Structure 1
């Protein structure tokens, strides 16, 4: 049984982020992989040692503040689980919470978990639009497509980005990086939601979660007709070659 946890579905769920959970569940079910979902809300207990894949979505500054208060009580457990290979997908606000801090508009800081070496500062205007990012998944180059809408400018420390921006803004609109990759943690600004348009990433996350359980499974390919069509639309819009 592959165990997925959606942390704060009531707080961090912007721009259809819950669609990422639906994709993970369905791609497992289509292949006959037993899978379960647990939704954990503010203040509810969860044993992260019993979780295979953790999802954190995006949210408003106020929602992030509430989530950050609760996350701080889980910081030690989450850090331990990450170091032991927990697979994590964190989108936008959820991504920002994994760093050292988010400097808010008008001053003040929202403390992060300090789980990964980066920080975020609010910018004067929002970075909005379609985005394409070149990444390496399982040793192969892939292009991730999505939609970004964030005022935060994220600056990485001694840690690798998730990928290189081909079109769009990415972490800060300046250095050409997008997201972060640390062990089995994937942080990104790609909303939309992300996984319906990027089945290669969805399958990569499922593979990592299975491998963490000691299972070496070759995932049978799926047809992915509509997923490919959605990607083609975005790539055409961004004047990039279709994959």
Structure 2
């Protein structure tokens, strides 16, 4: 069986390279001995027969209307995938388009698809840019990445991805980042987030494999690459002023 990871609208929603989260999943699956492929979907006609995970990247505000129009064609599919527990990772404006809606500075708005709770609203403090560190809810994992957004996200306080340790997250002073509903994740974390946070990628892959009746166990190549990722993560945490716990190998020395 081949696991199929769909990246939606990469021509419009890949400003920060976030569509490449799909490539991260496929590569890690391959290192674990699983067949996987990435399928770029620009319209519903491009959908493969089987979908095991969906990645939606971020785009510019100039692409919002066009992206929304194309995503509306997939509204029923997205809602069904979310209900069935297919992992969906949406970043930046891709996440905002799955929300209740986006409010623009001129008073107009864009209706979202209503897949995730909350809405994006203009941030009174201006654009939020900088390193972001998040303590993932229900986990000891620290997620790292870069945030760059002109809007705050409100109305999803009951289901965040995690608690902000450094940075702004959903809004300055909110203390929260992202939103999670079942296996659907929305986040401001760029990076791409799955390359910088291998543990999150592995949780998504574990869900994908289990739904397909397969097992997922990171391969030897994965561990080599993750050592580089961990070094970069620790540098990120240190720069952000977040205390870094000793690595397991350090604790044994």
TM-score range (shorter-chain normalised) is over 0.9
8 Å contact 1:117–1:159 — kept in the other structure?
Answer: no
8 Å contact 1:42–1:67 — kept in the other structure?
Answer: no
Q: Unaligned 5+ residue runs, structure 1?
A: none
Q: Which residue of 2 aligns with 1:104?
A: 104
Q: How many pairs are equivalent?
A: 240
1:102-181 alignment, distance < 5 Å: 102-124=102-124, 125-136=126-137, 140-157=139-156, 159-181=158-180
Deviation, 1:42, is 4.2
1:203-218 alignment, distance < 5 Å: 203-218=202-217
Considering fraction of residues, name the structure with more helix. 2
Looking at structure 2, the residues matched to 89 and 157 of structure 1 have their Cα atoms a distance apart, in angstroms, of 16
8 Å contact 1:105–1:123 — kept in the other structure?
Answer: no
Considering fraction of residues, name the structure with more strand. 1
Looking at structure 2, the residues matched to 17 and 219 of structure 1 have their Cα atoms a distance apart, in angstroms, of 22
Deviation, 1:192, is 2.0
Looking at structure 1, the residues matched to 10 and 70 of structure 2 have their Cα atoms a distance apart, in angstroms, of 13
Closer/same/farther in 2, CA of residues 98 and 175 from structure 1, 3 Å limit: same
When the two chains are superposed, the root-mean-square deviation of aligned CA atoms in Å is 1.7
Runs of 4+ residues deviating >4 angstroms? none
Q: Secondary structure at the match of 1:18?
A: helix
Greater mean deviation of Cα atoms: 9-18 or 127-136 = 9-18
Q: Secondary structure at the match of 1:113?
A: coil
8 Å contact 2:96–2:120 — kept in the other structure?
Answer: yes
8 Å contact 1:117–1:158 — kept in the other structure?
Answer: no
- Could you state the TM-score of these two structures normalised by the residue count of structure 2? 0.89
Q: Which residue of 1 aligns with 2:47?
A: 46
Deviation, 1:215, is 2.6
Q: Unaligned 5+ residue runs, structure 2?
A: 246-253
Q: Which residue of 2 aligns with 1:36?
A: 37
